[in-house]
């Protein structure tokens, strides 16, 4: 895959592709790519002709005690994986290319930032939206693909695109999972063998809530208690939150319907895992 590090080179490559009539697809990532990222590339390729991926570990979205320094990095491996799935351009900028000076203007998320990940990681989503807005302005894609795994991130990016009138179609791609159901994440690399074995209990709890919903249970409280109950006693795991919310704004309601989702975050040893599952088909 052609790899470029400067904004000028990305713009020139995208301009040339567009002049040739190509529709531009974009998949922003922080690297350490796994099959989950590659399914985002596949989705982009299905919707566009020329797919650009970026690899940039964005310092603005990490809190002072988070894992910015130890976040896994493997640019060479990433390039090979992207090439194998038909990516045309990899943008891998330095920190200075994206933030040549202090970033004084940032994108402040809407109210959907106030709970869940946003409450536990203050400033995280302002960091995400700011870098995504900058990357959108650099790449100027027609379509951008993000994973459903980060449901709150997707919700806030969707709001940013709409409220700031960005001419970009957002595609949300279903969560890619390991054979035992654990959602693929670059941070899974931090898990010890025992932690990895028990981590899939999170998906088990979400599935349990989904099957209760499918069996007719609608009480948010009952569904949440069942989810939390399924995680009780899992060695090394503590639950940050387990909630049933409306999927489009992440607000908790008293009863669930076909537009709800169960969302959860747990601490597994030193590793934080998040996941979610949709209840119903989104039609409510």
Residues that bind ligand PAF (CB under 6 A): 28-30, 58, 61, 128, 131-132, 150, 153
Tokens of 238: 């503590």
Q: How far apart (Å, rounded) are the C-alpha atoms in residues 113 and 253?
A: 17
Residue with tokens 């890619």: 176
Q: Answer left, alpha or beta for residue 273, where phi above 0 means left and psi between -120 and 50 means alpha.
A: beta
Q: Which residues contact 18 (CB under 8 A, 6 or more apart)?
A: 24, 50
The alpha carbon torsion through 198, 200, 205, 207 (nearest 10 deg) reads -160
Task: CB nearer to ligand PAF: give 10 or 231.
Answer: 10
Task: CB nearer to ligand PAF: give 28 or 227.
Answer: 28
Q: CA Rg, the chain, in Å?
A: 19
Catalytic residue among 37, 81, 88, 134, which? 37
Task: CB nearer to ligand PAF: give 147 or 227.
Answer: 147
Which is nearest to 209 in space by CA: 168, 164, 167, 256? 256
Work out how close the CB of 211 gets to ligand PAF at its nearest, in angstroms, rounded to a whole number. Answer: 29
Work out how close the CB of 14 gets to ligand PAF at its nearest, in angstroms, rounded to a whole number. Answer: 18
Work out how close the CB of 61 gets to ligand PAF at its nearest, in angstroms, rounded to a whole number. Answer: 6
Work out how close the CB of 162 gets to ligand PAF at its nearest, in angstroms, rounded to a whole number. Answer: 17
Residue with tokens 């709150």: 152
Work out how close the CB of 147 gets to ligand PAF at its nearest, in angstroms, rounded to a whole number. Answer: 7
Q: How far apart (Å, rounded) are the C-alpha atoms in residues 166 and 143?
A: 11
Q: How far apart (Å, rounded) are the C-alpha atoms in residues 102 and 26?
A: 26
Task: CB nearer to ligand PAF: give 128 or 278.
Answer: 128
Spatial strand order in the sheet of 143-147: 2-4, 89-91, 50-55, 24-29, 143-147, 169-173
Task: CB nearer to ligand PAF: give 1 or 256.
Answer: 1
Q: Quick check: is 124 catalytic? A: no
Tokens of 103: 């970033």
For the annotated catalytic residues, the residue numbers are 37
């Amino acid at each position: 895959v052609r790899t470029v590090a400067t904004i000028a080179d990305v713009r020139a490559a995208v301009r040339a592709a567009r002049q040739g009539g190509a529709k531009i697809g974009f998949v922003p990532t922080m690297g350490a790519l796994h099959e989950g990222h590659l399914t985002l590339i596949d989705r982009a390729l299905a919707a566009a002709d020329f797919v650009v991926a970026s690899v940039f570990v964005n310092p603005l979205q990490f809190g002072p005690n988070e894992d910015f320094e130890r976040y896994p990095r493997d640019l060479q491996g990433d390039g090979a994986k992207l090439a194998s799935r038909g990516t045309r351009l990899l943008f891998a900028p330095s920190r200075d290319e994206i933030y040549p000076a202090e970033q004084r203007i940032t994108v402040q998320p809407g109210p959907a930032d106030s709970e869940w990940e946003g409450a536990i990681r203050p400033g995280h989503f302002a960091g995400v939206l700011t870098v995504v807005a900058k990357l959108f302005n650099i790449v100027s894609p027609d379509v951008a693909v993000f994973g459903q795994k980060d449901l709150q991130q997707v919700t806030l990016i969707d709001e940013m695109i709409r409220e700031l009138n960005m001419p970009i179609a957002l595609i949300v791609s279903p969560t890619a999972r390991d054979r035992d159901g654990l959602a693929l994440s670059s941070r899974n690399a931090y898990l010890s063998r025992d932690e990895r074995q028990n981590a899939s209990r999170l998906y088990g709890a979400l599935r349990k809530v989904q099957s209760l919903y499918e069996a007719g249970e609608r009480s948010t409280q009952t569904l949440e208690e069942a989810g939390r109950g399924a995680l009780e006693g899992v060695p090394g795991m503590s639950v940050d939150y387990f909630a049933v919310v409306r999927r489009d704004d992440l607000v908790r309601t008293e009863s669930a319907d076909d537009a709800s989702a169960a969302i959860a975050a747990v601490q597994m040893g030193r590793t934080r895992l998040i996941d979610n599952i949709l209840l119903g088909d989104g039609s409510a």
